[in-house]
A and B are shown apart, each in its own frame.
Chain A
Amino acid sequence: MSIPSAQYEDYADALEMIDDEDMRFEYIIDIGKKVKDQDFPEDWRTDDHLMHGCMSRVWIIDEVKDGKHYFRGFSDAIIVKGLVAMMTGSFSGLTGDELQKIGTDHVRRLNLGALTTQRQVGMMAMLETFKKLGSAGGGTVAGLRSANA
């Protein structure tokens, strides 16, 4: 498997360079704070796009262009917003087949001990959602596919 994306490498490298767990935690918060409400309009935050089983609410949408999936996501909690931004940024731009090859090790490089087990499980659930959307063929902006597709 090739590198998921340049964005993924940027996140993973940045986290590896920060050798303090608290600083890594704050790095994720900073990413979350940069996500603005307008990046994910209110009318996308519907139950259809909601990931179930999360402690805070997480919405994921999937836009397909030229056979590649571009995910966008949002949460009402900043830390989760940061994780969602990292995950959607890292694993966008891949075909459905490429998404199936993303492994849990790829995700592990993004959490590096700064997260509780529960949040690590949440990130893995997000990966599974991406894969599910990828294998279902994906949607378009006009007909966004939901996290529950």
Chain B
Amino acid sequence: MNKVVSIDAAPGSNSLAAFDVERVRRDFPILKQKVYGKSLVFLDSGASAQKPQVVIDAVRECYETYYSNVHRGAHFLSQRCTDAYEAVRADIAGFINAPSENNVVITSSVTESINLVAQTWGRKFLKAGDEVIVSEMEHHANIVPWQLLETEIGITIKVAPIDENGEFLLDSFKQLLSPKTKLVAITEVSNVLGTIVPVKEVIRLAHAAGALVLIDGAQGIVHHGVDVQDLDCDFYGFTGHKLYGPSGVGVLYGKAEVLSAMPPYQGGGDMIEKVSFSGTTFKEPPHRFEAGTPPIAQVIGLGAAIRYVSGLGMDNIAAHEQGLLAYANSRIEDLGGVRIVGQAHDKAAIISFLLDGAHPFDVAAVLDRQGVATRVGHHCAEPLMDRLGVVGTVRASFGLYNTSDDVDRLIAALGKAKDLLL
């Protein structure tokens, strides 16, 4: 079941020589295709990453050979599928260095992970006047769940600012902390700007103020290794489909004592100990938060994705992507007429930009015709667009399979956009 990753990256090695991107690309069948007669340049991994063959095979193998419902069957397939499913929970725990697989709640997405915290921990522990701090860079998924509590409970949302370059302002954040602060819910990496938030310091400061911290790791975990114990975060959420795994599966890590104090999220099968009309009792975490049949094959696929990126080495992936980011920045600067939105010192390989004098939708459409897939719009971060005074941006987000040739193609396509649109 566990496919061997088709690359000889030495685990933990920092050597870029071990990261042969051309070999990596061969693991992604979708990248071989042409669009509009041109070879595909996929720069939209920030929205959803492509899947390596090992992930596709793992999902197919599950359905072809051992698929069954988990946790409840008294037959061979169910046992085998449950074993495979629970083994992934352990793989996830290992991947983020959680103390135990019991810290790992399977969800459908990071959006659900955050909503789970808001609707269980939030409803139990927050009261009117309590404050939740988010940043100006949050995805809507880390704003709206707190706004729902603002309406229902009367909590107050405080917004930690950024500067014009998209740099997180740690001192301003510090000033927002008070005895009223009960939670800091913050992204690890901005999905628009690529800004890497100094979350370890944020967590230390928040804890000193008596607040818990939830990290939205949707864009963080794909670009660098994550150690939840080292971070000391109380919650960490991420999603499978941005990590080269299937869509429909997400993860919520929580500290044991925090999860134990939280009431169930949804009611249903699989999360109960005993049900009767005189009273129902619930399982311990993580199963308490997993009502109903989980996304079984998606979890199996996520396990394969985690083994795949672990085999490549997160440090190698990070180094490769940082090389691409630096190269892309310098090529864009040389091209001229392109404004990079978000110039924080510490960035993941995400570049939002505007072509002077052109509407971002036009630019993205021309890039698309050149075979270059980007994302355009407000990127589910409208408050950030307002803060930056733009209606939207074009975003090129790089993944482990991108190359310097992809950057060259982006630059050539931007040149074409200038010719056509200006």
Binding site for B on A (CB under 8 A): 21-22, 25-26, 29, 55-56, 76-80, 116
Contact = CB atoms under 8 A, between A and B. Distances in A.
A55 B361 contact: yes
Interface stretch (B86-94, B198-206, B362-370): B362-370
19 contacts: A21-B36, A21-B369, A22-B36, A25-B365, A25-B369, A26-B420, A29-B362, A29-B420, A55-B376, A55-B377, A77-B359, A77-B361, A78-B358, A78-B359, A79-B361, A79-B365, A80-B361, A116-B365, A116-B368
Contacts of B208: none
B377 A29 contact: no
A29 B368 contact: no
A9 B40 CA distance: 35
A76 B377 CA distance: 13
B144 interface: no
A29 B377 CA distance: 20
For the side of the interface on B, what is the size category?
Answer: 10 to 19
B261 interface: no
B4 interface: no
Contacts of B390: none
Interface in B356-398: 358-359, 361-362, 365, 368-369, 376-377, 391
A117 to B, nearest CB: 12
User: Which A-B residue pairs are the 10 nearest by beta carbons?
Assistant: A77-B359, A77-B361, A56-B361, A78-B362, A77-B362, A79-B362, A79-B365, A25-B369, A29-B420, A76-B359
Contacts of A116: 365, 368
Contacts of B358: 78
A76 B359 CA distance: 7
Contacts of B30: none
B421 interface: yes
Contacts of A80: 361
Nearest to A20: B37
Contacts of A76: 359, 391
A56 B359 contact: yes
A77 B420 CA distance: 13
Contacts of B377: 55
Most buried by A among B358, B365, B376: B365
Interface string B32-48: 00001000000000000
A58 B361 CA distance: 13
A116 B369 CA distance: 10
Contacts of A55: 361, 376-377
Most buried by B among A22, A25, A78: A78
A79 B376 CA distance: 14
A56 B364 CA distance: 12
A22 B369 contact: yes
A25 B37 CA distance: 14
A83 to B, nearest CB: 11
Contacts of B361: 55-56, 77, 79-80
Contacts of B376: 55
